[in-house]
Amino acid sequence: MGFEIGKDGQSTGQLVEDLHAMKRVRDRISELRTSVEPNVPSHIVMYREIEADGQELDAILRKIQAELPEYDERFPDAHEQTLTSIASVDLGVKRVGLVQQQIAAARDIESLNPVALFQAWKQRMQPLLDAEIALAGCGKTEIEP
39-85 residue pLDDT tens: 999 999 999 999 999 999 999 999 999 999 999 999 999 999 999 99
Tally of domains in the chain:
1
From 119, 117, 130, 58, select the one nearest 90 (Cα to Cα).
58
Range of the structural domain that residue 115 is part of: 8-136
Per-residue model confidence (pLDDT) at position 73? 93
141 lies in some domain:
no
DSSP code at position 2: G
1 lies in some domain:
no
128 lies in some domain:
yes
126 lies in some domain:
yes
Say if residue 118's pLDDT is above 80. Answer: yes
> Do residues 58 and 37 lie in contact, with contact meaning Cβ atoms separated by under 8 Å?
no
Per-residue model confidence (pLDDT) at position 9? 67
Per-residue model confidence (pLDDT) at position 64? 97
> Do residues 89 and 65 lie in contact, with contact meaning Cβ atoms separated by under 8 Å?
yes
143 lies in some domain:
no
> Greater confidence, 129 or 139?
129
145 lies in some domain:
no
Q: Which segments of the chain does DSSP mark as H helices, in order?
A: 9-35, 40-74, 79-109, 114-120, 126-136
Mean of per-residue pLDDT scores for the chain: 90
